[in-house]
């Protein structure tokens, strides 16, 4: 009888660990998600369209609403390397949203990885109180915050 109770307790504990693991994984995957311009509401689209035509990182951040990170790479001076966003990851650590960007460059202006703009929807602002951005391992500032 005691062995049966122990086995059930072990199975229940295992079940709880699996559920907690799955919930943790699903939450981590929603910290940052790429968005398409046509999916954005008109206010976000207006913000993006009004950004200066220069390279930079921008944050659309209206009070109490969804935030968006915008990475723009529209300008490449002749003969210089064209920059592009290779990868982006994010996680929340102690109420700080940490965004890691890997930026690379190429002299092949026809490279399919070159995008003039990338837009990312950030997780709920209630989950963090601060944003830190690292580009190629070095902390960087946003070029503009608006909304």
Residues 4 and 22 in one domain: yes
* Average of per-residue pLDDT values in the chain: 80
The reply to whether 85 and 22 lie within a common domain is no
Residues near 18 by beta carbon (within 8 Å), at least 6 away in sequence: none
Using only C-alpha atoms, what is the Rg of the chain?
A: 21
Does 50 lie in the same domain as 116? Answer: yes
Residue 141 pLDDT:
94
**101 and 40 in one domain?**
yes
Q: Check if the beta carbon of residue 119 is closer than 8 Å to that of residue 139.
A: no
Residues 126 and 81 in one domain: yes
Q: Are residues 8 and 58 in the same domain?
A: no
pTM for the predicted model, two decimal places: 0.74
pLDDT above 90 coverage of the chain, percent: 42
Mean local confidence (pLDDT), 121-147: 91
Calpha distance 104→85 (Å, rounded): 6
Q: What angle do CA 113, 132, 50 make, to 5 degrees?
A: 60
pLDDT tens digit sequence for 13-45: 444 443 344 344 434 447 999 999 999 999 999
Same domain assignment for residues 24 and 37:
no
Host domain of residue 14: 1-30
Q: How many Å apart are CA 70 and CA 58, to the nearest integer?
A: 5
What pLDDT is stored for residue 16 in this prediction?
A: 45
Of residues 36 and 114, the one with the higher pLDDT is 36
What is the spatial distance between Cα 74 and Cα 58, in angstroms, rounded to a whole number? 13
Q: pLDDT tens digits, residue range 63-89?
A: 888 999 999 887 777 788 888 888 999
Confidence category of residue 9, pLDDT binned at 50, 70, 90 = very low
Could you tell me if 86 and 73 lie in one domain? yes
Q: Same structural domain for residues 130 and 71? A: yes
pLDDT one-digit tens code per residue, 118-128 = 999 998 878 88
Length of the chain: 147
Counts for the chain of helices (H) and strands (E), in that order: 2, 9
The answer to whether 74 and 100 have CB atoms below 8 angstroms apart is: no
Total number of domains constituting the chain: 2
């Amino acid at each position: 009888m005691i062995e049966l109770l122990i086995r059930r307790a072990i199975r229940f504990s295992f079940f709880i660990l699996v559920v907690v693991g799955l919930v943790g994984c699903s939450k981590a995957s929603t910290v940052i998600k790429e968005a398409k311009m046509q999916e954005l509401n008109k206010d976000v689209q207006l913000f993006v369209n009004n950004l200066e035509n220069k390279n930079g990182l921008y944050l659309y951040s209206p009070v109490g609403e969804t935030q968006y990170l915008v990475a723009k790479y529209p300008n490449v001076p002749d003969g210089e390397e064209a920059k592009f966003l290779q990868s982006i990851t994010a996680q929340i650590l102690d109420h700080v949203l940490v965004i890691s960007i890997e930026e690379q460059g190429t002299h092949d202006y026809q490279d399919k990885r070159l995008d003039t703009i990338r837009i990312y929807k950030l997780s709920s602002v209630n989950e963090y109180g601060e944003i830190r951005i690292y580009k190629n391992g070095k902390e960087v500032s946003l070029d503009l915050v608006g909304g």
